[in-house]
Amino acid sequence: MSKLRRVLLVVVCLAIPLAALAADFWVKKPYQSWSAEEARTLLEESPWATTLTLGGSKNIFAGPGPSPGGELEDDPKVTYTIQFRSAQPIRQAEVRSSQINAHYDKMSAGQRAAFDTNVTKFLSTSFPGRIIIAVTFQSNVQTYQSELRTYWMEQSLAKQSMKVFLNTVSDKLSLTSYSCRDDTFQFTFPRPKELAPDDKISLMFVHPRIERIGEQRILQVFSLKKMLVGGQPAL
């Protein structure tokens, strides 16, 4: 083996554990030390959150003048960011983002005390009998965003009860509460009675037809093994 190949092999071997360490920053250090990027990562792409992108058919109109469909967008997209909002790591990431955005380090002692009081109340809230999942929607087409907002604001528990489920290996949990505010809607489910660390948990809901992005069933699976905090799934 050449010297160059040996060096490259060592670099690759070192990179793998370093990447794993970086991915588990929520275990390695307290949330007060998370960077803005780390907090954002936990809220958007982590064991407790993920972002899905749905695409539509291409706009094939190539003639002069405005598109016959109105607003022109060659690659329309809708994204859904799913978060286990009742999970403590998500709530800690929300707090850390608020600290950074509010310039916590530059606050006076009195301002910090007031901020900390609110944080303590927020993080001490427990959800022993329920799981709360928040879903934020966004589109790169303004009219799509408006239609999405109208659709999800008009929904209710009765309308969504047969479309939305939280599934485990042994349970199919039905929706117990639904709400929507701004560009985020929220599902509430009963907490499963039994969960094994090796189990999977999945959220199912239906994206409505929005112009060129058709109706689609969303089924997102999460690994409980990756969601452990103190040896227990954090949900």
Edge-to-edge strand list for the sheet holding 177-181? 49-55, 77-84, 130-139, 184-190, 177-181
Q: Per mean pLDDT, which range of 55-59, 61-65, 80-84, 86-90 is the poorest?
A: 61-65
Contact (Cβ atoms closer than 8 angstroms) between residue 42 and residue 228: no
Contact (Cβ atoms closer than 8 angstroms) between residue 133 and residue 166: yes
- How many whole angstroms separate alpha carbon 37 and alpha carbon 74? 30
What is the mean pLDDT of the segment spanning 70-76? 65
Angle, in degrees to the nearest 10, between helices 36-44 and 88-101: 140
Give Cβ neighbours of residue 42 (< 8 Å, ≥ 6 apart): 26, 34, 48, 49, 89, 90, 92, 93
For the segment 33-47, what is each residue's pLDDT rounded down to a tens digit?
A: 999 999 999 999 999
Q: Report all structural domains of the chain as residue ranges with CATH numbers, in order of start.
A: 8-44+88-126 (no CATH), 46-59+70-86+127-235 (2.60.40)
Would the pLDDT of 7 be above 50? no
What percent of the chain is predicted at pLDDT more than 70?
83
Q: Per mean pLDDT, which range of 2-11, 162-171, 177-186 is the poorest?
A: 2-11
Give the pLDDT of residue 197. Answer: 77
Nearest alpha-carbon partner for 76 in 99, 90, 102, 57: 57
What is the mean pLDDT of the segment spanning 18-22? 40
Would the pLDDT of 15 be above 60? no
